[in-house]
Amino acid sequence: MEKGNGCCSIMASSATITFFLVGITLVMCRVLYAMYRSSKPLCKRAPQPVSTLIVLGSGGHTAEMLNLLSVLQKDRFSPRIYIAAATDNMSLQKARLFENSLADENGVGAVKTAQFMQIYRSREVGQSYVTSVWTTLLAIVHALQLMIKIRPQVILCNGPGTCIPLCAIAFLFKVLGIRWSSIFYVESIARVKRLSLSGLLLYKLRIADELFVQWPQLQRKYPRAHYVGCLM
């Protein structure tokens, strides 16, 4: 009896290990597939409006993003959802002014085509790394809640650290088959010799579907990036 119980125990342990290894293998295959597909040119689809998440950042990030949006087809990227850090009211104010100007030009209510949201910042300037562990976890949970609610088809970002948890969750959704969001990252014009930390993470981890730089030497250093010239 003891030998029988021992054999059953060994078989159960072996089956558990096998299922675990199979599960890990399937997850890794899905991750590799998402990374592979994200690095390939996007397929051309019918010109239908796509819900677009726009990540804003303090300083010049918002100015560059709004300048980029001004040359895009507004009816193609609609509805637009703007997200900024909870402590960055200025960026959302600028985004509202931008949408109001579009409404004045087209006679369309800005409320119908745009939403404005805030997200917790992972770490404030000068915040200790010890306390930032808690705020980072809080920011990730908040980002998850927002992404479940929004589920955008396109994500536009250009450097603020706020975009990292949002893009990471979007990539997780790709792996799980929940939603395939195309992530477009435009590096700031201020980055001449190397990518910002946000850009480097999205580039190295192959999270971004397309990564654009504004200086030719950056494209030579990061060959998978696309040089588009100065957008400002």
The residues spanned by each domain of the chain are 12-39, 50-227
Residue 181 pLDDT: 92
Task: Please name the residues in contact with 166: beta carbons below 8 A apart, sequence gap of 6 or more.
Answer: 53, 55, 83, 119, 143, 146, 147, 155, 157
Residue 199 pLDDT: 93
Q: Is the pLDDT of residue 11 over 90?
A: no
- CA-CA distance, 150 to 84, in Å (whole number)? 14
Indicate the pLDDT class of residue 27, thresholds 50, 70 and 90.
low
Q: What is the pTM of this model?
A: 0.81
Mean pLDDT, rounded, for 121-142: 76
Mean pLDDT, rounded, for 130-158: 88
Residue 52 pLDDT: 96
Tokens linked to 191: 């980055």
φ/ψ of 80, rounded to 5, equals -105, 130
Using DSSP's 3-state secondary structure scheme, residue 176 falls into: helix
- Cα 226 to chain centroid distance, Å, stands at 18
71-113 pLDDT, tens digit each: 888 888 999 999 999 888 899 999 999 999 987 776 655 456 7
The answer to whether the CB of 189 falls within 8 A of the CB of 21 is: no
Indicate the pLDDT class of residue 60, thresholds 50, 70 and 90.
confident
Mean pLDDT, rounded, for 43-60: 81
Tokens linked to 106: 């087209």
Please give the CATH number for the structural domain made up of 50-227. 3.40.50.2000
Kind and range of the H or E run holding 168: helix 163-176
Indicate the pLDDT class of residue 22, thresholds 50, 70 and 90.
low
- CA-CA distance, 182 to 76, in Å (whole number)? 14
